[in-house]
Structure 1
């Protein structure tokens, strides 16, 4: 597959909502260990709303989904995921389809938006630790291959957060005690890219 259309973006949001719902208890358990214990609940509600997003272009779908996340998701995750999708949407513009290369650039724009909003970098034990390697791995002209590589990179990034000491977010309040736990934001980010890979 080489082109991304509105239908694929809508299916991406629906698939993410399904995976988040399936793993909501796991996300909540991860967040209970080093956060405030509401990540699974918040994202389940947020991506359920994002899955209802409609639009006639990829950018329109992702913009609507991002707005839904911001409006319905509590905590920091709503603004962060909403920013990721809305910045990606802005990069895609009004074109009816996008190449894999253009979609990769849009994901990069989304990542940069999250970095600016949250102020985190790789190694800080946040969602960036899964998002950044996923975006870096999404390369090439074939969407299916790029999406699978991105999902695998996100999963590796998620797992790599376990030994880290959190330097951003609520988990950072725990200091050294945050080590030994997978970051919930990285875990949900891995689900986002697993959902994308599953479409192809």
Structure 2
């Protein structure tokens, strides 16, 4: 079993497992909130879909501390259980990010930064989208940038993930004045302005769960 604390500049298998389990808890707690956000600009199902998907994620999570294997399992469960665009997008995010991490029980800050980069590139390609289009990328991309910048300062993993979560929150809030350019919300045109993107919101919640899980493990 890998040391759950390892070093201040690493993430371990137990930390990733705790992140996944905490994400499931947070998404269950925010199921109604995410659905309310999705109601005016989507299919009113994002909260239910993400909650259902992460329940399946936890049930199917493999034993052991192989970080890449766990993240790949998350991808497969989300692709099979989450409806709409969220399943393929989140599935691609975790699948593409997991590939270099297969077999690893501890990952460095540099490897985690690459995970974020690979995950974001996967979402961009799958969704044919980019930052500024009122999607989950508006939370993920700033988080990735903030993580990389903070980790470069002193290599502190909890501080870097905290910075990433804070940037994701700002990115999420920045979707409110945007006009949607992808997904069902794009059909509304200017009427999509004034609504916070549900995908950016669930992305923020997942990243905040990551920060909380690592911070708790590092105590």
Establish whether residue 192 from structure 1 lines up as the match of residue 206 from structure 2: yes
Match of 1:63 in 2: 72
Tell me by how many angstroms 1:51 deviates.
2.2
Q: How many angstroms apart in 2 are the aligned matches of 1:96 and 1:17?
A: 21
Correspondences of 1:23-172 after superposition (within 5 Å): 23-52=30-59, 53-54=61-62, 55-139=64-148, 140=151, 141-172=155-186
Q: How many angstroms apart in 1 are the aligned matches of 2:58 and 2:110?
A: 24
TM-score of the superposed pair, with normalisation by structure 2: 0.89
Establish whether residue 3 from structure 1 lines up as the match of residue 14 from structure 2: no
Q: How many angstroms apart in 2 are the aligned matches of 1:3 and 1:66?
A: 22
Larger mean Cα displacement after TM superposition, 91-100 or 22-31 = 91-100
Q: How many angstroms apart in 1 are the aligned matches of 2:57 and 2:163?
A: 24
Q: How many angstroms apart in 2 are the aligned matches of 1:123 and 1:135?
A: 15
Q: How many angstroms apart in 1 are the aligned matches of 2:9 and 2:56?
A: 28
Runs of 5+ consecutive residues of structure 1 not aligned to the other structure:
none
Tell me by how many angstroms 1:36 deviates.
0.7
Tell me by how many angstroms 1:23 deviates.
0.7
Q: CA contact under 8 A between 1:10 and 1:51: conserved in structure 2?
A: no
Q: How many angstroms apart in 1 are the aligned matches of 2:125 and 2:209?
A: 25
Correspondences of 1:17-28 after superposition (within 5 Å): 17-28=24-35
Structure label with greater radius of gyration: 2
Q: How many residues align?
A: 200
Q: How many angstroms apart in 2 are the aligned matches of 1:142 and 1:125?
A: 31
Larger mean Cα displacement after TM superposition, 177-186 or 83-92 = 83-92
Q: How many angstroms apart in 2 are the aligned matches of 1:96 and 1:15?
A: 19
TM-score of the superposed pair, with normalisation by structure 1: 0.97
SS at match of 2:26: helix
Q: CA contact under 8 A between 1:155 and 1:190: conserved in structure 2?
A: yes
Q: CA contact under 8 A between 1:91 and 1:109: conserved in structure 2?
A: no
Tell me by how many angstroms 1:2 deviates.
1.9
